[in-house]
Chains A and B, each alone.
Chain A
């Protein structure tokens, strides 16, 4: 039995953030992780359960200057069907298309996927290679306070982030990709739907006259958090994607990751897959 005593459904951000002040609050958005996790006893529902689904400020996808803002409550289905995302961030659509099942995508939110901080979180890898940042809101005094941090510094461990208990993730912001931007995502599981990655890979950069620059590489399910891969990025930066480079970079990637054995895959297999899929994705990019 949980310690749940209060249920609160705020209708604006001020109310939501104010509720978080005392810290003893479990936040409910889509509930697709919270429900099974709490029923299995892995997550304890705290004294207050706050349903943020009625906070309209947390919803929607908008173009704000040279950034796309995706509200924390946006569902995976909404992201997949959004014209702005389809046009500018196709790699995110690709990841959403491999996210769980239709039913779960209809309820699961991007804010939930981020705060859940799974090393295998499906949207996190494309968000990392797209240089996304998260915006957090809190109410230290009487006023609403917002600040942002790069997603790449947000995760600190499985299920652990830099969000403090009195903060709420309000949105992610993704800079509009520049001209000649390419990005690819691959998720490897046992089956094509309803699966947790054995590994996942995102690669992005600017491809001009066969040269890849401004490279971003991220790996999922090979470390306690989704990670950027600086050595692999460095090996790729400014390179022409010929066969020799691709082979070399795939080896760098394999050496860079330090995965573990678990119920989904062995460390050995994960390293092999990082190598093979990196090679495959780079070949696809080269053929762009």
Chain B
């Protein structure tokens, strides 16, 4: 290439945004080379195992660990007595990792062993003798709130001696609770009495939502190691490394600065790793006592028994509207089965009330939740965080109200749908809102309005296969959620002498594709190919603060943070170039690995060369930047009001089914989705995320259920806990509504949770469209549907109840 040609080289504009970019971790995962926590082994490591309760609710009269301790190869056996400094854990600090004096659920941890092999540890567990005294089991939240119900967390009595070795504190774990109510949430805007008075139609129904669990392919596990100075190194699958670091320090009573968390690649999170669970703290105790690294991995059965579930909910909804289709009010009472202890499941009302108050324009809304203790498994956070439950009730009522006033269900929704610019009764401000586009797009692409009528007309024709179509929509936070004082994320960015970038981000990768999206955003700013970037995101000693993977926040929050750091790097580079080439910074840009003239695309200098010039000079400098992004959202006030997210995501899904009236089997044939995602960043990634979410929603709707009888899980295995398998996955048509959010990174919003939310609600509406039978309880398994079709399902009514 001649000098003349080189000078006139033009770099055409190009973009990475909206392209189909392969996930950066895909080759390793597809070839089986990813090293999960299961594949990590430290020299000198012991294996930890936990003895769980044989009873559901009982006093522990005695524990004899002598035979276990005597077994060759066993290093440590601990019970609560051996850890006098145990502190209560959990969202409400209502339980000890190793249970003290009493067990309250099937999963309860009684003792733990660290041994040279897993087999020895298992054998040692079998040698531990526990004497119990059974207590009455409360397996139904309705029983838990009856006057005189047995208490799950009674005040400790001196007679059983169980708390004697613990300092009196103020937590539930220490002082107990005079009733079984774990948490309450009460929200209101407007006046529901007035709203009801203005209504032409009022309906009230009880909905029941069941137990499901995350089923991460990678089971829970961790490795803990204390060094000679007492510093703790944890290999952990947590979704929340920074907050958990602080919490673990509290449980160990050490300075948080002495804890370092490394996250190996995580085999699925979906919210399940958002809380600290007893096994993690117990693993720390074992490592501390053994003075050896201890690795603890769940078996699949343990994963079912001892990981959190989605929040089961009993919900009575009263809704009204006018004849012209205007919604007038909504009144909601829910009873959350908290299980034996409080984890994030109890706080799902934060999200549920948003859906009730703000998915549609409702002038009057009244919402109450009581989360009550039972002896069941305890619920945690799970993709959608209460929104699947709320949407299930609301969207069925939308169809039912439309039917009552004889209005087309799509038209009814359009009439009440939110628009950009609205501020809801709960104080959510919709700066961008593609809801109506979602409704019309999903309806058009699925031919919804024609099929609704056609299916209805065909309902009574002969044949055992009935076709149905149903619609549901959702609102979810899409710009983070300020549930902590901070919702921020930090970025450190450095460039090397060859114009390669290292992006050090606080945001964790749990398989959702954040590494790839963040890399795209940085490379877009710096005009570099995606191959020029390395992401470091899994070590609290290196990465800057972040509040964790939750609330669909990573693309939005970490994305804005990464862009901020990249912009600072770009500004520095352009300043250096402008000085060197004696022009204005605004005349220059970065593109294709070059500094170019912004107007013409003409190459000014190769970026790597410029960086080397900068580095190897008298006043040497490197390009290294940091940025911290805190979204402009606010913490809710005491009445749960406030603009909690910087942006909101919208979506409509239309589900089509075939119901076999001979068997009750529901085949999901097609899902048409339209999602307001702000803007598509990685088209391949977002398609995968939406499709995966739809399938998760399908399992929730049709096949998945943890069967709990008297506190005992009946199906802790993949044989009887039925995930959706490949042949059942419906045809999908997913459209993206690009509302270009002003605050979003390149206009994008978070959509991680969105796709799972509508499926069950839309399926309920589709089954009703096909058969004329409305179902209020999930899941729609063949037997449940068959029973409903044959009038064998008594309609449940739960009388609204509010904790004092």
Q: Determine whether A7 belongs to the interface, using a CB cutoff of 8 Å to chain B.
A: no
Contact pattern, B 684-725, Cβ under 8 Å of A = 1, otherwise 0? 000000000000000000010001000000110101101011
In the complex formed, the residue of B with least CB distance to A101 is: B725
Q: Is the interface of B mostly helix, strand, loop or mixed?
A: loop
Instruction: Say whether A40 contacts B301, CB under 8 Å.
Output: yes
Q: Determine whether B786 belongs to the interface, using a CB cutoff of 8 Å to chain A.
A: yes
In the complex formed, the residue of A with least CB distance to B720 is: A263
Other-chain contact of B783, A195, A265, A280 (Cβ < 8 Å): A265
Q: Determine whether A276 belongs to the interface, using a CB cutoff of 8 Å to chain B.
A: yes
A190 with B725, Cβ < 8 A, contacts A263-B707, A263-B714, A273-B663 known: no
Q: Is the interface of A mostly helix, strand, loop or mixed?
A: loop
Instruction: Say whether A193 contacts B663, CB under 8 Å.
Output: no
Contact pattern, A 133-145, Cβ under 8 Å of B = 1, otherwise 0? 0000000000000
For residue B720, which residues in chain A have a CB less than 8 angstroms away from its CB? 196, 263-264
Q: List A187-210 residues whose CB lies under 8 Å from chain B.
A: 188, 190-196, 198
In the complex formed, the residue of A with least CB distance to B123 is: A1
Instruction: Say whether B781 contacts A190, CB under 8 Å.
Output: yes
CA distance A2 to B790 in the complex (A): 49
A191 with B725, Cβ < 8 A, contacts A196-B719, A276-B662 known: yes
Instruction: Say whether A280 contacts B703, CB under 8 Å.
Output: no
Instruction: Say whether A277 contacts B722, CB under 8 Å.
Output: no
CA distance A188 to B703 in the complex (A): 14
Give the bracket for the number of chain A residues in contact with chain B: 20 to 34
Q: Determine whether B506 belongs to the interface, using a CB cutoff of 8 Å to chain A.
A: no
Q: Determine whether B119 belongs to the interface, using a CB cutoff of 8 Å to chain A.
A: yes
Instruction: Say whether B301 contacts A193, CB under 8 Å.
Output: no
Other-chain contact of B722, A195, A269, A276, A280 (Cβ < 8 Å): A195
For residue B119, which residues in chain A have a CB less than 8 angstroms away from its CB? 1
- How many interface contacts (CB-CB < 8 Å) are there between A and B? 54
Chain B: interface residue total (CB-CB under 8 A): 28
For residue A268, which residues in chain B have a CB less than 8 angstroms away from its CB? 792
Q: Determine whether A78 belongs to the interface, using a CB cutoff of 8 Å to chain B.
A: no
For residue B781, which residues in chain A have a CB less than 8 angstroms away from its CB? 190
Q: Separation in Å of the B73 CB from the closest CB of chain A? A: 12
Q: Determine whether B726 belongs to the interface, using a CB cutoff of 8 Å to chain A.
A: yes
Q: List A260-279 residues whose CB lies under 8 Å from chain B.
A: 263-266, 268-269, 272-273, 276-277
For residue B88, which residues in chain A have a CB less than 8 angstroms away from its CB? none
CA distance A101 to B707 in the complex (A): 24
CA distance A280 to B662 in the complex (A): 9
Contact pattern, B 96-131, Cβ under 8 Å of A = 1, otherwise 0? 000000000000000000000001001100000000
Scoring B122, B665, B703, B782 by chain A CB atoms within 10 A of each residue's CB, the highest score goes to B782
For residue A280, which residues in chain B have a CB less than 8 angstroms away from its CB? 464, 662
Instruction: Say whether A191 contacts B703, CB under 8 Å.
Output: yes
CA distance A159 to B236 in the complex (A): 42
For residue A273, which residues in chain B have a CB less than 8 angstroms away from its CB? 663
Instruction: Say whether B782 contacts A193, CB under 8 Å.
Output: no
A188 with B725, Cβ < 8 A, contacts A263-B707, A280-B662 known: no
For residue A101, which residues in chain B have a CB less than 8 angstroms away from its CB? 725
In the complex formed, the residue of B with least CB distance to A192 is: B727
Q: Determine whether B728 belongs to the interface, using a CB cutoff of 8 Å to chain A.
A: yes
Q: List B317-354 residues whose CB lies under 8 Å from chain A.
A: none
For residue A188, which residues in chain B have a CB less than 8 angstroms away from its CB? 663, 665, 782
Q: Separation in Å of the A261 CB from the closest CB of chain B? A: 11
For residue B662, which residues in chain A have a CB less than 8 angstroms away from its CB? 276-277, 280
Q: Separation in Å of the B463 CB from the closest CB of chain A? A: 12
Q: Separation in Å of the B724 CB from the closest CB of chain A? A: 7
Q: What are the 7 tightest A-B residue pairs by CB atom distance, in nearest-first order? A: A276-B662, A269-B783, A193-B725, A263-B714, A190-B722, A192-B727, A190-B703
**9 A-B contact pairs sorted by A residue (CB < 8 Å):** A1-B122, A40-B717, A188-B782, A190-B722, A191-B724, A192-B725, A196-B719, A269-B786, A277-B662
Could you tell me which B residues sit within 8 Å of A by CB distance?
A: 119, 122-123, 301, 464, 662-663, 665, 703, 707, 714-715, 717, 719-720, 722, 724-728, 781-783, 786-787, 790, 792
Could you tell me which A residues sit within 8 Å of B by CB distance?
A: 1, 40, 101, 188, 190-196, 198, 263-266, 268-269, 272-273, 276-277, 280
